[in-house]
Amino acid sequence: MKKMILAALVAAPLAVSAASPDKSFKDCSMKASKTAKKTDLMAMATVKEDAAKKAALGTAGPGSTVVKGGIETESGCLVYSYHVKDPAKSGQNEIFVDAGNGAILKQEHESALRAAAEKPIDKAKELVGEAKEKRTGKPSTNQAMQK
């Protein structure tokens, strides 16, 4: 029963966001396909990953760290998405950085409960990335992979 409630809590925000387009991304500078490979997305980005991380960390307090993230397509826009943990606050913020100009497009607070609920999903993605690396012999571009 607890698993069903937890699944519903995780699925509800995702269902709501999928149902309506996010206006935060209407002014993004670069568009990208949801099916594009991570390597292609990285090649398209004019803002490099280090600069995007710096911009994301600039939204939080001193001592903040990037928990996870990377380049992706969100609402048709090419963005870097980083989960930033500020030690002075509970939970974490997901920061969306425009991969074309480095602008912060959106900030979204995630409670500690939601962050904990995402951990099994991240672990499953990591295992898939490891299996793909073993099968293909090439490094994975899966952002859930531990570096």
Tens digit of each residue's pLDDT (9 = 90 or more) over 91-122: 899 999 999 999 999 999 987 777 777 777 77
Q: Is the pLDDT of residue 2 over 70?
A: no
DSSP 25: G
100 phi-psi bin (left φ>0, alpha ψ -120 to 50, beta other): alpha
Alpha-carbon Rg for the chain in angstroms? 16
Q: Per-residue confidence at 141, pLDDT binned at 50, 70, 90?
A: low
Report pLDDT for 22.
Answer: 80
55 alpha carbon, distance to own chain's centre = 14
User: pLDDT for 13-62, tens place per residue?
Assistant: 555 445 456 888 988 999 999 899 889 999 999 999 999 999 999 999 99
Q: Is the pLDDT of residue 85 over 90?
A: yes
Q: Could you tell me the two tokens for 26? A: 């209407």
Residue of higher predicted confidence among 138 and 140: 138
Side chain identity at residue 118, one-letter code: E
Q: Write the CA distances from 29 to 25, 58, 110, integer angstroms.
A: 9, 20, 26
